[in-house]
Chains A and B, each alone.
Chain A
Amino acid sequence: MLHRLTPLFPAARRLTTRIAPPTRRLASSLVLLEQKAGKLNEASLTAVTAAKSLGSETQAILFGSKSDLEKALEEAKKIDNVSTVYTASSDSFAHLLAEAVAPFIASVIKDKGVTHVFAAHTAAGKNVFPRLAGLLDSSLIADITALEASGSQFTRPIYAGNAILTIESSDKDAVKVITVRPTAFERASTESGSSTVEELNESSTATSSTRFLSEELTVSARPDLASASRVVSGGRALKSKDSFDQVLDPLADAFGAAVGASRAAVDAGYADNSLQVGQTGKASFPYYTPVVAPELYVAVGISGAIQHLAGMKESKMIVAINKDPDAPIFQVADAGLVADLFEAVPQLVEEVAKTQN
């Protein structure tokens, strides 16, 4: 259309050219990769996918002790379509202390002309990125579930996922500081990439009085609840801690799933706090735990309070086993079985085992 109009209105064309905004700085993204004991955090790979959707150059940065970095780099440098992986090692970087890491990332952003910086919305991302945003005097665009290719429009859940907000960032935020909801993006592949590795020196680190003392990690042979592709979750109907474990463990093993629990089960002491799925009301105010969005969510003896549904309704397939045909969980379940869980679950374990033989 423009082509047809231009010969008729040459002046108009010139005018548009003149008032057109100056060319934007080419977008360039930097992703914070997390690693633990030399193993890349899978959630950070979803942040890479979000960054790559902007279609611009994607770089990554990885912190840690020398030996951990060496191990994690094997995988990191193979992430598809990442041009450069920057590494930085020091004692204060080993545990991603925000006081050390945030100013360092800020200086890399400046040096490399980065316009968009991404992290996964994990405990580490939620700790480091607000500080980074404060240092850059930029807004924090937290927990996004979608973004426009323009790199200025973002979608994120608010009110514990009960409303979805779409916002546009202004030019005043020169650097877009973004955390990504891991369940909303696919993990970037680490098959065929071949990025350049560049080691950065710790020079611009701000001095800080904060020290890491120790950590206590829950040891589990099962996949991590927040990132598991399959979750088997139990409610109060499991009656006791012993029966919770006796019924759910074999089922979780059959599916290779993580174990989760409803608040009722946690409050009754059947399962640990860390297994709780969904927002809920202990001591009469909400509880925020990681939202899960696995490919399979099996709800066993869970009635499906709104707060629980808020934590798992993004799952691809929801299976519910409950005695009460009117339980709200059946309204969201793709396959619901009205049955006594103490009979149905062992049967299900048996059937699943058959399909695997």
Chain B
Amino acid sequence: MRPSLPSLVNILVPVKRSIDYAVKIRVASDGKSVDTNVKHSMNPFDEIAVEEAIRLKTNSGEPVSSITALSIGPAKAIDTIRTALAMGADTGIHIVTPENTIVEPLSVAHAIKAIVERSQGTDKKFDLLLMGKQAIDDDSGATGGMVAGMLGWGQGSFASKVMIEKGGKAQVTREIDGGLEKIESELPMVITTDLRLNEPRYASLPNIMKAKKKKVEALKPEDLNLDFTPRLKTISVTEPPKRTGGAKVENVQELVSKMKEAGIL
């Protein structure tokens, strides 16, 4: 084992391949899923997490030694890891799942925990998890807090500002209802990103080329003794109810009488 400075931080950034935010979602004909034969990209909150990791590493004085991007998903999830590498992550880990497997947040949390625990005792021990506050497909926002609970680590959810001191202490400004809250925690910890944390960079073409040479370790769920059997059974996926509006009024008086009718005034 290389004698490393104890203050150096290795960051693990879990990234999810999800349907691109600009795609208009369609419910699939089976009534139990959405049509996934559409453009995918990295979950936007995860882009922010990757960006923050890079900023912590490149800003002088920040004690970050490496950034690893982790994704759990089908073969195509490698594209998402490559995107993270092109942005500036150093290496990748891909837990490859069979096509069309649903991996629930709880399973993802178990997988991240397994990766973190595997790193203990090596010279690349993860001590900071930077992750998106939620994925824009299932909108659960569960994984970050779950991992923090499982590992017994501190958590800074919905971060809009992150500062890491040399001693391995982190100050996180969190977005809460009605304002901001500042907390302090010792590493190791989990930080989840809110939108106001930063604006992610675009990967340049040379960096995309370089990213192809970076190392990505491929693992199977069995390699880590993970069982991805879902606990939640999908009963149905439906379109949201359509709203019927469209009535126009001639003037303000008519508007007011409509509001009276509705019992508002």
Query: Judging by beta carbons under 8 Å apart, are A170 and B249 in contact?
Result: no
How close is B73's CB to chain A, nearest CB, in angstroms? 17
Among B136, B177, B195, B256, the one with the most A-chain Cβ atoms within 10 Å of its Cβ is B177
From A97, A282, A325, A347, give the contact of B195 (CB < 8 A). A282
- Residues of chain A with a CB closer than 8 A to B149's CB: 98, 102, 130-135
Q: Are A130 and B142 in contact (CB under 8 A)?
A: yes
Which one, B2-10, B54-62, B79-87, B101-109, is touching chain A? B101-109
CB distance from A352 to the nearest CB of B (A): 7
Check if A285 sits within 8 Å of B21, measured CB to CB: yes
A to B contact number (C-beta, < 8 Å)? 263
Name the B residues within 8 Å of A216 (CB-CB). 179-182
Cβ–Cβ contact B184 & A139, under 8 A:
no
Task: Please provide the chain B residues from 240 to 260 with a CB less than 8 Å away from any CB of chain A in the complex.
Answer: 240, 243, 245-249, 251-256, 258-260
Q: Chain A residues near B141 (CB, 8 Å)?
A: 126, 130, 142
Binds A, one of B90-98, B203-211, B215-223, B227-235: B227-235
Asked whether, in the complex, the Cβ of A351 is within 8 Å of the Cβ of B252, the reply is yes
Say which residue of A127, A158, A206, A351 sits within 8 Å of B138 (CB atoms). Answer: A158
> Within 8 Å of chain B (Cβ to Cβ): is A169?
yes
Distance of A161 Cα from B243 Cα, bound (Å): 13
What per-residue 1/0 map shows which CB atoms of B14-51 lie under 8 Å from chain A?
00000101101101000000100000000010010000
Mask: chain A, 258-281; 1 = CB below 8 Å from B; 0 = not: 000000000000000100000001
Q: Are A167 and B146 in contact (CB under 8 A)?
A: no
If the complex has contacts A139-B104, A157-B240, A215-B181, are A318 and B134 also in contact, measured as CB distance less than 8 A?
no
Contact of A206 (CB < 8 Å), options: B109, B152, B156, B237: B152
By beta carbon, the residue of chain A nearest B243 is A332
A226 an interface residue at 8 Å Cβ cutoff?
A: yes
B236 to chain A, nearest CB (A): 5
Chain A contributes a number of interface residues (CB within 8 A of B) equal to 92
B175 contacts partner chain A, Cβ-Cβ < 8 Å = yes
Q: Mark B108-141, 1 if CB is under 8 A from A, else 0.
A: 0100000000000000000000000010111111
| Complex alpha-carbon distance, A49 and B237, angstroms | 25
Of B25, B232, B243, B246, which is within 8 A of A139 by CB? B232
Are the C-beta atoms of A163 and B255 separated by less than 8 Å? no
Bound-state CA distance A134–B111 (Å) is 12
Across the interface, do A170 and B248 meet the contact criterion of CB distance under 8 Å?
Answer: no
Q: A336 is contacted by which of B19, B249, B253 (Cβ under 8 Å)?
A: B249
Cross-chain contact A134 with B147 (CB below 8 angstroms): yes
**Chain A proximity mask over B165-196: 1 for CB below 8 Å, otherwise 0:** 00000010011111111111110010000011
Interface membership of B63, Cβ < 8 A = no
Contact B246 A330 (CB under 8 A): yes
Measured as residues with beta carbon below 8 angstroms from the partner, the interface class of chain B is 35 or more
* B264 close to chain A: CB less than 8 A: yes
Shortest B80–chain A CB gap in Å is 14
Contact between A347 and B176, CB atoms less than 8 A apart: no
A164: interface (CB < 8 Å): yes
- Using A140-B140, A164-B239, A313-B243 as known contacts, say yes or no to A209 and B179 having CB atoms under 8 A apart: no
Tell me, yes or no, whether A153 is within 8 Å of chain B by CB: yes
| B150 on interface, CB distance cutoff 8 Å | yes
A295 to B259, CA, bound (A): 11
* Among candidates B47, B238, B247, residue contacting A334 with C-beta atoms closer than 8 Å: B247
B264 touches A296 (CB 8 A): yes
Answer whether residue B265 sits at the interface, using C-beta atoms and an 8 A cutoff. Answer: yes
Contact with B along A189-212 (1 / 0, CB 8 A): 000000000000000001011111
Given A163-B239, A166-B237, A286-B44: 11 more A-B contacts, CB < 8 Å: A122-B177, A126-B157, A130-B148, A134-B106, A142-B140, A160-B139, A165-B234, A210-B183, A317-B262, A334-B247, A339-B251
A-B contact pairs, 24 of them (CB 8 A): A95-B181, A99-B148, A123-B176, A130-B144, A130-B148, A130-B149, A133-B142, A133-B146, A158-B237, A164-B237, A164-B239, A166-B237, A209-B185, A213-B183, A216-B179, A230-B264, A273-B196, A285-B21, A318-B243, A330-B245, A330-B248, A335-B255, A336-B248, A348-B256
A interface residues, Cβ below 8 angstroms from B: 95, 97-99, 102, 122-124, 126-135, 137-143, 153, 156-170, 172-173, 206, 208-218, 224, 226, 230, 273, 281-283, 285-288, 295-296, 306, 313, 316-319, 325, 330-339, 344, 347-348, 351-352, 355-356
